[in-house]
Amino acid sequence: MHALQENYSYVGEVVKVMGKNRVLVKLSHEGKYVVTVDKAIKIEDIKPNLRVAVRSDNYILHKILPTKVDPLVSLMKVEKVPDSTYDMIGGLDQQVKEVKEVIELPIKHPEIFESLGIAQPKGVLMYGPPGTGKTLLARAIAHHTDCTFIR
């Protein structure tokens, strides 16, 4: 019951630290305010662009919030240049040939498409049951084109 009676907080972003316990904060829909920092928070921990919570009743900065991260993005992992090659892929010779023509050729030799007046392909959709080589093929493409592979 106590939680329902508490005032809510605004989420804002620190614009500038203005002294020992004052900070200029941009609140999402309210505008910019100079607010007091709660005694429990060290002013040294507050930096520009930091997400913070400001109480709605007294406009006191009372909490430092974590940076906003999209959960889907946090699941992605970047592999700079995978070590997979086309030689590692067995039984997909036709698919490897098609992928080389559609993806690798436009990246490595765009002048061929320009000279012929042909638009470069925009992408490829690989589908199929698990374990059939889709990811291995994508890693090999990234390796041979010096592109980043995002898993």
Q: What pLDDT, in 10s, does the model give residues 29-48? A: 778 999 999 999 999 999 99
| Summary mean pLDDT of the chain | 86
- Is residue 138 scored above 70 in pLDDT? yes
Report the pLDDT value the prediction gives residue 73, as an integer from 0 to 100.
65
Q: What pTM was estimated for this model as a whole?
A: 0.51
The token duo for 77 is 């992992």
Question: What are the structural domains, with CATH classification, of the chain?
Answer: 2-64 (2.40.50.140), 72-150 (3.40.50.300)
- CA separation (Å) from 29 to 16, 34, 47, 50, 62? 18, 15, 21, 17, 19
Q: What pLDDT, in 10s, does the model give residues 2-14? A: 444 567 888 999 9
Give Cβ neighbours of residue 113 (< 8 Å, ≥ 6 apart): 106, 119, 120
Q: What pLDDT, in 10s, does the model give residues 50-84? A: 999 999 889 999 999 988 776 666 666 776 666 88
Q: What pLDDT, in 10s, does the model give residues 75-116? A: 667 766 668 899 999 999 999 999 999 999 999 998 998 899
- Is residue 139 scored above 70 in pLDDT? yes
